[in-house]
């Protein structure tokens, strides 16, 4: 007597099957809360709060963003992934990076990812920057073409399981070193260029919605 009881279900009390009416009535009299999955902003804050416990380990903002966007099934899995990544980095002495996250969290990332194709990424980036789709594979070096192409390569690495050589082939047969350069450049630009970071965030939302 006098104790509180919490009942969890995937529907409202009135919609439960096989439960006595007397119990349904009592459940309906209590506080009924509709708990939705954590959205991207909440997942990001959860990771940042958790990260505050690891003062000795630096986790780049792009890794936090990557985990928050990619691991969306449940919070335990999200926090567990961050713990695993930090533990591995501390054990091996490696810095936490986007590449390390992809290597060590392969199974979890694969289970959470919606299948986004490189073609879809190229189409979305071209529409956003208002460049012709053919420019993704062209040899033109004009800045107005090169930067969108580099952003598309970066997104292809972040959002798909494709390797650097595979991504290069989808961009006019470019060498894997060109893709690596593009990914690292956009990662670096996002840390010091608010406009670039804003562009990437907008594109991520468009592709993942």
Q: Is the pLDDT of residue 87 over 80?
A: yes
pLDDT higher at 34 or 155: 155
Domain borders along the chain are: 118-208
Report the b/e string of 137-165 with b at 16+ CB within 10 A. Answer: eeeeeeeebebbbbbbbbbbbbbbebebe
C-alpha to C-alpha distance for 122 and 206, rounded to whole angstroms: 12
pLDDT at 189: 94
What pLDDT, on the 0 to 100 scale, is given for residue 95? Answer: 92
Consecutive H or E run containing 107: helix 106-112
Mean pLDDT, all residues of the chain: 87
- For residues 167 and 110, what is the distance between their CA atoms, to the nearest angstrom? 18
Tens digit of each residue's pLDDT (9 = 90 or more) over 93-136? 999 998 899 889 888 877 776 678 999 999 999 999 999 999 99
Of 90, 86, 111, 119, whose CA–CA distance to 101 is shortest?
Answer: 86
CATH number for the domain running over 118-208? 1.10.1750.10
Looking at residue 209, its pLDDT comes to 66
Q: Count of alpha carbons within 13 Å of 29, Cβ hemisphere only? A: 7
18: number of CA atoms within 13 Å, CB side? 0
pTM: 0.52
pLDDT band at 10 (very low <50, low <70, confident <90, very high): low
pLDDT surpasses 60 at 1: no
Q: Is 52 helix (H, G, I), strand (E, B) or coil?
A: coil
Q: Quick one: CA torsion of 62, 149, 130, 66, rounded to 10 degrees? A: -20
Q: Averaged over 161-178, what is the pLDDT?
A: 93
Q: Is pLDDT of 35 > 80?
A: no
């Amino acid at each position: 007597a006098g104790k509180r009881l919490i009942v969890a279900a995937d529907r409202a009390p009135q919609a439960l099957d096989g439960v006595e009416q007397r119990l349904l009535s009592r459940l309906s009299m209590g506080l009924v809360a509709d708990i939705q999955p954590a959205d991207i902003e909440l997942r990001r804050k959860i990771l940042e709060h958790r990260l505050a416990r690891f003062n000795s380990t630096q986790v780049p903002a792009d890794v936090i963003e990557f985990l928050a966007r990619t691991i969306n099934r449940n919070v335990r899995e999200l926090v567990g992934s961050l713990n695993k990544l930090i533990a591995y980095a501390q054990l091996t002495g490696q810095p936490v990076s986007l590449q390390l996250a992809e290597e060590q969290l392969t199974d979890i990332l694969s289970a959470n990812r919606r299948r986004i194709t490189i073609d879809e990424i190229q189409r979305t980036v071209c529409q956003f920057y208002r460049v012709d789709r053919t420019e993704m594979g062209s040899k033109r070096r004009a800045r107005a073409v090169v930067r969108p192409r580099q952003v598309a390569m970066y997104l292809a690495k972040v959002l798909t399981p494709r390797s650097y050589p595979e991504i290069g082939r989808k961009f006019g047969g470019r060498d894997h070193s060109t893709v690596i350069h593009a990914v690292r450049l956009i990662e670096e630009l996002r840390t010091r260029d608010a406009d670039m970071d804003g562009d990437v965030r907008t594109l991520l939302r468009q592709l993942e919605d």
